[in-house]
Amino acid sequence: MLQLTLRRVRLFVSAKRSRKVLASVVAAWVVCVGLLALMPEATAQTGAGASAARTDVEAEAYRLYSDEKLIGARTKAEEALAADDDSLVGHFVLGQVLREAEGSLARSMFHLGRARELYETTWVASSRPDDAPWELHRNTLYAIQGLAGEMELYDYQLEIQGYHDYLYDPDLLAEHAWPLIGLGRYDEARDFALRATKARRDPWMRSSGLNALCAVEGEAGRRHPWLEACLAAIENARERRGTEDEGALTVHAFNAAQAARSTLSFDQAEALALEGARRLEFTPANPWRLLARQYLDQGRMTDAAGALREMQRWRRRQPAYLRDQDRAETDVAFATVMLIAGETDIAARAVGRAIDQPDRRGLTSSSAEQAEGAHALLRRAVLRTQAERDAERAAFGGVLGQFEGVARRAFDDSALFADEERIRASLADERRLTLTFRFYVNGGLEPLPPWLVGDLIDVLGSGVVAVAIREARILEGPSPLDAYFDGIEAELALASGDEAEAMDFAQRALESLPTTEALLRARLSVVAAEAARRRGRNSEAIAYLGDALAVDGGVLRRLRVSIPARVRVTGGSSIASDVGAMIGRSPRFTDDAGFEVR
């Protein structure tokens, strides 16, 4: 799930004050206490500005930052630090600019930490002396705790939040939920989120609390409470639209769309995502990324391609520190669409980049292990598909070409070992393993399209998957998810050589699966077709294959399944005979009654 930042939808976004809110607080402090040259009377009355914004350069740095002119703010902050390395204002502004404009989190933490140190070695933090710029200290602590979350330093984030709450009001109730989610302490996170939702006089805290509660229920794997919490959050945001305390509608819409998918309410999920896409907000909760995935699952390739373009456009308009939060997720969404489109070379480069340069996970409730396993499984599918394509080409290369094709396929398969080890390591946690097979809930491998889950049978082994499916059935109880479980059972039966049971499970799944699950249905149609072919029921196999290929032309390659077909050469020339022989050698065909290739 993403958290409110203005970050994690799950991806939830943690409820964090927007920079404009923080900037307005800082700007107000500067106006009241910082502009020595312009407002000497006000400065004399407050006394705080005399020790904080001690120069015109520092005051200008603050003003530029509050006006979101970050390049100018950085220049002035560096100028202030060049004149005085102990400039509290200079360190604070430079730290914030490094975080927001450049995404340089480690350097940002250094400067914000130095700003905190300068304050706390000059004044007693707990007493708030009259001449102390304590508002700046409060804002510095708030910025540090948010930055710690983005860096996944959850224990440190909790420590800073506790220190902030000891010194200042109001307490950071909703903010406490996010590091607790990251640490797996869901009951404590739910308690803080619920307390925040009761803050009727603080609209932002209430919104953040609803957002956090949405995340907690999502991570707990409770489908309907998850959806109810997320819908409450977006309804609250709708009510505040156009007010001074307007909420982050896009984040709430993204989270609610994911929750709707967990209840198989795909039309509702699409409507919610589109609602969030109508306005640009600074958040990695990119609604177009979610839409691209859903359109792809539904076989709507034209819509998926359009969503990819909008996804990239949305991301380019985000500030640097947020672009670093979803670069890999963007690459993986792109690679997934490219895989189904048959552009495996492009897909391999994109998913490889995502694995080599993973996202920071501080603004989401998912972990690095979940993403690493999902990305590795996708790359495995891409590389296997590439190997099948190469084998098909090798069939036209004569004896030497065929030998090279076999050798290359063996080499390509050996290259999958590293990714398979990544996947096994990611799923060594039993809870994560079970959640992965529960479909559309948080906590498993993410992001994992439903039509790719069956690939885990080859990686983990039938016994491990069978146990996970049994646990998933128990946790879900009788539900529409049974169709998804039946689909996995069909693949398990086929892998174990029980073709009759495979057909039974596949037919049950196809009868009950939502019609919108186009790619998953295509996969199960191939499973049923292969089971029928092995039983000698080729007419049924042909019917199933026709259904699958009408939706997903690449599914046979991905599953390494052959079509029962015989090549008929109508010309009498030797060239025609040679071509017919080459086609017949393709791994996509097996010499059996079924289709006829002329």
Q: Give yes or no for a contact between 565 and 596, defined as CB atoms under 8 angstroms apart.
A: yes
- pLDDT tens by residue, 319-346: 876 777 788 999 999 999 999 999 999 9
- pLDDT tens by residue, 188-247: 999 999 999 988 788 888 888 999 999 999 888 889 999 999 999 999 988 888 776 566
- pLDDT tens by residue, 107-166: 999 999 999 999 999 999 988 888 889 999 999 999 999 999 988 899 999 999 999 999
3-state class of 265 per DSSP?
A: coil
Whether residue 70 is contained in a domain is answered as no
Cα distance between residue 236 and residue 254, in whole Å: 14
Whether residue 284 is contained in a domain is answered as yes
Q: Does residue 373 share a domain with residue 349?
A: no
Among 366, 389, 418, the domain boundary falls at 366
Residue 469 has pLDDT above 90, yes or no: yes
Q: Give yes or no for a contact between 453 and 380, defined as CB atoms under 8 angstroms apart.
A: no
Residue 525 has pLDDT above 90, yes or no: yes
Split into its structural domains, the chain has a count of 3
Average pLDDT score, the chain:
84
Residue 569 has pLDDT above 80, yes or no: no
**CATH assignment of the domain containing 382:** 1.25.40.10
Q: Does residue 582 share a domain with residue 444?
A: no
Q: Does residue 380 share a domain with residue 276?
A: no
Among 346, 366, 386, the domain boundary falls at 366
Q: Does residue 291 share a domain with residue 185?
A: yes
Cα distance between residue 252 and residue 232, in whole Å: 9
Whether residue 102 is contained in a domain is answered as no
pLDDT confidence of residue 520: 98
- Percent of the chain with pLDDT strictly greater than 90: 60
> Hey, what amino acid is at 167?
L
Q: How many helices (H) and strands (E) does the chain have?
A: 31, 3
Whether residue 297 is contained in a domain is answered as yes
Q: Does residue 354 share a domain with residue 379?
A: no
Q: Does residue 581 share a domain with residue 462?
A: no
Cα distance between residue 318 and residue 316, in whole Å: 6
Residue 29 has pLDDT above 90, yes or no: no
The 10 Å CB-count burial string (b at 16+, else e) for 168-199 is: beebbbbbbbbbbbbeebbebbbbbbbbbbeb
- pLDDT tens by residue, 68-112: 899 999 999 999 999 999 999 999 999 999 998 887 899 999 999
Whether residue 462 is contained in a domain is answered as yes
Q: Does residue 264 share a domain with residue 150?
A: yes
Contacts of 255 (CB under 8 A, 6+ apart): 1, 2, 9, 10, 12, 13, 211, 214, 215, 218, 230, 233, 234, 285
Whether residue 104 is contained in a domain is answered as no
Contacts of 477 (CB under 8 A, 6+ apart): none
Between 455 and 151, whose confidence is greater?
Answer: 455
pLDDT confidence of residue 529: 94
Q: Give yes or no for a contact between 140 and 133, defined as CB atoms under 8 angstroms apart.
A: no
Q: Give yes or no for a contact between 374 and 448, defined as CB atoms under 8 angstroms apart.
A: yes
- pLDDT tens by residue, 244-290: 656 678 889 999 999 999 999 999 999 999 999 998 888 888 999 99
Whether residue 202 is contained in a domain is answered as yes
Between 251 and 412, whose confidence is greater?
Answer: 251
Confidence band, pLDDT 50/70/90 cuts, at residue 36 = very low
Q: Does residue 344 share a domain with residue 427?
A: no
pLDDT confidence of residue 241: 81
Cα distance between residue 508 and residue 138, in whole Å: 60
**What residue numbers bound the domain in which 387 lies?**
369-553
Alpha helix positions (H), 121-221: 134-150, 154-167, 173-182, 186-197, 203-219
Residue 565 has pLDDT above 80, yes or no: no
Q: Does residue 496 share a domain with residue 578?
A: no
Confidence band, pLDDT 50/70/90 cuts, at residue 588 = low
Q: Does residue 571 share a domain with residue 477?
A: no
